């Protein structure tokens, strides 16, 4: 704790002690004025509590005046620390009148000094009433009895003491307001003592937003938001349209920095999981925290489904939170009443490059040209960039390398796709695939285009001519088992990118609009991650577009058109696999950068596959690869045969030999509905027909 902060705490405590001493004298004066005064000497003993205050001479009135002067002098000393007494600050920011401020101190006194509880019970003639009441407070603080009737309005529900939860009023509905218990909870009394920590009931749901990087797009959106908030007469909800890590959260930070607020991100899932009644109480506490801690609330609603509990929780916050609220959403939030919309765009690639260098500058690093490749591959906002650099810096205190940044980017951005597609772990290299020289050359060209995008698009300027369509889309066409999936895995391993397999049968929906919604979620998640998207069985959706005969045909065509547009706009690598190239729409084929045909392997290629299919560790004996190449099987079927043969051999506790392989091959033929002929199986035909 700094000396200035410590000095303020000490001076604030001295001011609060003087205010409580003055309150004691007021209580003593009230006791003397009552027609049937309580035990004044005992009351005086409780109130003095060792303080150097003379109660009898020159009298409480003179003491009250003297302490008032001392309070003014002490407030000067507090202000010399650059701040005000905490109760005075609270009265100013909450808009409390002098009476409301005094009543708040009166209600908090028993929590600050136990002697006040005994004094309140003595003055009210009931040992059970050792707490503040409005009747006692007005008798103490308002001299004119006729004015007390009007002064009771200070506890109306719309007045700040109750609307901001600074003071709690408890008691039965049939009990008059004047005699109900008044109390101040620990959060407010701590604030009065100079301790400003977030209420423990909502602290687990809040996290301070990290300082934002200087992104121009986020700064501009933040400035627009701050202007809207500053000009408003009441609390404002700003709907930041964008993605949290893509700049929207940073826009909220810059707006709060301009306004002197502290942005805190609300755990929406945790908040929405609470019952509606609890959420209402928490919302009231959030409003009070906005006042006491000077915070603004940031909610990420990008994944809140309309009609779901999370969306309802956001609507409740918009409707009742007495605080500056930022709601982040991919599209304009439907509940638009009283909501100001501001677009928070993701920074451009050039701006991302600047942000990476700004984030790396404070850390030792050997990142040179790798930043361009990272920027081209991973579309990240300022928040995501800052998170990646901070994580790598903790893991590599001796210096950050480009390879570590690349790996951290994959970790940072891959989680969003895990919920939408199946991650494939590559297990093949270039030496494992058996394809024609032309197919291998095209795969190498495809990998080179992904690696060299930064140089071609940015350094050489060709990206300015493209605008859209910077992504690389490839079609892998060919019969099942010819190496399409293996080739995708090889590319992912070579490029050090995540590979996600998307089953289009699960994406396509019979409900109108759902297919587009599912595809949008996939592509939006993929944009950030730079992952390779592998659409298997692509002809399930990309088949020839039909003539419009009914509404279903029209919406089917809209789905295809939407996908074609997203494919063109996608900045990463998308691979589409199909067994039926002829079924694909010609308009779709024109948008492809590569169209690679994986043909059924010939005898020579099959022999090469057989020679590589068994690992070096596998125990084999007498395998006749030239003979096995006669079997009419694709590479995928050959791998299946090899695995089944290995299990047969293991069960028989023998090396993998021709007998096990041909038996497994026969089972594969049956599975494929292929005839088992003597021409193919030769001398082994009798064995497989048994």
What is the predicted pLDDT for the residue at 7?
86
Q: What is d(CA 17, CA 56) in angstroms, rounded to the nearest whole number?
A: 20
pLDDT of residue 555: 43
Tokens, residue 362: 């404070």
**Pick from 339, 203, 223: which is nearest to 271 by CA?**
203
- Residues 355/215, Cβ–Cβ less than 8 Å: yes
Between CA 232 and CA 36 the distance in angstroms is 54
Helix and strand element counts for the chain (H, E) = 34, 15
Task: Confirm whether 203-343 and 349-418 share one CATH topology.
Answer: no
| pLDDT tens per residue, range 298-331 | 999 988 887 889 999 999 999 999 999 999 998 8
Predicted local distance difference test score (pLDDT) of residue 87:
95
Q: What is the pLDDT of residues 126-136, one digit of tens each?
A: 888 899 999 99
- The CATH number given to 603-689 is 1.10.8
Contact 596, 578 (CB under 8 A): no
Topology of the domain comprising 203-343: Rossmann fold (3.40.50)
Q: Which residues, listed in sequence order, are joined to residue 296 by a DSSP beta bridge? A: 263
**Which of 478, 484, 391, 447 has the alpha carbon at shortest distance from 593?**
447
pLDDT profile of the chain (690 residues), mean per 10: 68 93 88 70 62 56 86 91 92 93 95 90 87 92 85 90 91 85 94 93 93 88 94 89 85 95 95 93 93 94 86 92 93 81 88 90 84 84 88 89 89 74 90 93 94 80 68 88 94 92 69 71 79 80 48 51 73 85 72 89 94 93 94 94 95 94 93 89 81
Domain residue extents for the chain: 3-193, 203-343, 349-418, 430-597, 603-689
The whole-number pLDDT of residue 91 equals: 94
pLDDT at 509: 62
What pLDDT does residue 550 have?
A: 44
User: From the CA atom positions of the chain, what is the Rg in Å?
Assistant: 37
CATH 3.40.50.300 at 430-597, yes or no = yes
> 40 with 24: CB under 8 angstroms?
no
**Whole-number pLDDT of residue 552:** 44
Query: 349-418: what CATH class?
Result: mainly alpha
Report pLDDT for 682: 86
Whole-angstrom distance, CA of residue 679 vs CA of residue 346: 64
DSSP state of 683: G
Spatial neighbors of 38 by CB under 8 A, at least 6 apart, are 31, 122, 123, 125
- Burial environment of residue 555 by CB neighbours within 10 A (0 to 12, 13 to 18, 19 or more): middle
CB 666 within 8 A of CB 682: no
pLDDT at position 472, please? Answer: 87
- What pLDDT is attached to residue 1? 46
């Amino acid at each position: 704790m700094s000396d200035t902060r410590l000095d303020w705490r000490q001076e604030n405590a001295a001011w609060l002690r003087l205010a409580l001493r003055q309150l004691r004298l007021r209580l003593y004066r009230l006791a003397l004025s009552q027609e049937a005064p309580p035990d004044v000497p005992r009351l005086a003993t409780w109130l003095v509590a060792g303080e150097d205050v003379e109660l009898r001479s020159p009298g409480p009135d003179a003491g009250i005046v003297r302490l008032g002067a001392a309070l003014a002098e002490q407030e000067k000393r507090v202000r010399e620390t650059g701040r005000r007494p905490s109760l005075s600050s609270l009265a100013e920011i909450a808009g409390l009148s002098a009476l409301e401020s005094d009543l708040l101190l009166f209600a908090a006194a028993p929590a600050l000094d136990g002697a006040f509880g005994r004094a309140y019970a003595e003055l009210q003639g009931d040992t059970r009433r050792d707490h503040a009441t409005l009747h006692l407070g007005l008798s103490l603080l308002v001299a004119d009895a006729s004015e007390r009737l009007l002064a009771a309005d200070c506890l109306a529900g719309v007045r700040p003491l109750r609307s901001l939860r600074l003071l709690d009023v408890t008691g039965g509905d049939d009990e008059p307001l004047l005699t109900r218990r008044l109390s101040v909870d620990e959060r407010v009394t701590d604030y009065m003592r100079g301790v400003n920590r977030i209420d423990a009931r909502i602290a687990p749901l809040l996290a301070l937003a990290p300082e934002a990087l200087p992104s121009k797009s986020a700064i501009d959106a933040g400035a627009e938001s701050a202007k809207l908030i500053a000009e408003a007469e009441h609390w404002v909800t700003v709907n930041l349209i964008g993605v949290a890590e893509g700049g929207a959260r940073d826009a909220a930070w810059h707006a709060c920095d301009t306004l002197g607020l502290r942005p805190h991100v609300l755990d929406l899932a945790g908040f929405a999981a609470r019952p509606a009644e609890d959420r209402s109480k928490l919302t009231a506490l959030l409003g009070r925290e906005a006042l006491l801690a000077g915070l603004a609330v940031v909610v990420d609603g990008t994944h809140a489904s309309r009609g779901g509990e999370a969306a309802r929780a956001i609507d409740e916050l918009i409707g009742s939170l007495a605080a500056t609220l930022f709601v982040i959403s991919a599209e304009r939030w439907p509940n638009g009443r009283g909501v100001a919309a501001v677009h928070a765009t993701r920074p451009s690639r050039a701006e991302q490059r600047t942000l990476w260098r700004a984030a790396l500058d404070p850390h030792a690093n050997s990142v040179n040209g790798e930043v361009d490749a990272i920027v081209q591959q991973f579309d990240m906002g300022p928040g995501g960039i800052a998170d990646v650099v901070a994580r790598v810096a903790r893991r590599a205190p001796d210096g950050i390398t480009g390879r570590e940044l690349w790996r951290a980017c994959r970790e940072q951005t891959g989680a969003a796709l895990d919920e939408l597609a199946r991650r494939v772990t590559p297990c093949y290299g270039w030496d494992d695939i058996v394809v024609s020289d032309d197919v291998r050359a095209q795969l190498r060209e495809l990998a080179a285009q992904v690696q060299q995008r930064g140089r071609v698009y940015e350094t050489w300027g060709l990206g300015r001519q493209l605008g859209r369509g910077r992504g690389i889309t490839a079609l892998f066409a060919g019969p099942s088992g010819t190496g399409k999936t293996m080739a995708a895995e090889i590319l992912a391993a070579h490029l050090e990118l995540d590979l996600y397999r998307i089953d289009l049968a699960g994406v396509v929906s019979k409900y109108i609009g759902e297919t587009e919604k599912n595809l949008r979620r996939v592509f939006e998640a993929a944009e950030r991650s730079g992952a390779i998207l592998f659409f298997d069985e692509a002809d399930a959706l990309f088949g020839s577009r039909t003539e419009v005969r009914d509404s279903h045909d029209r919406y089917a065509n809209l789905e295809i058109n939407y996908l074609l547009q997203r494919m063109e706009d996608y900045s990463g690598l998308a691979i589409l696999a199909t067994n039926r190239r002829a079924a694909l729409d010609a308009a779709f084929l024109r948008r492809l950068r590569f169209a690679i045909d994986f043909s059924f392997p010939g005898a020579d290629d099959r022999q090469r596959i057989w020679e590589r299919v068994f690992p070096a560790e596998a125990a084999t004996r007498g395998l006749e690869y030239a003979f096995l190449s006669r079997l009419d099987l694709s590479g995928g079927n050959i791998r299946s045969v090899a695995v089944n043969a290995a299990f047969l051999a293991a069960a028989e506790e023998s090396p993998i030999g021709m007998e096990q392989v041909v038996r497994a091959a026969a089972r594969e033929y049956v599975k494929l509905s292929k005839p088992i002929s003597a021409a193919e199986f030769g001398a082994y035909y009798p064995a497989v027909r048994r």
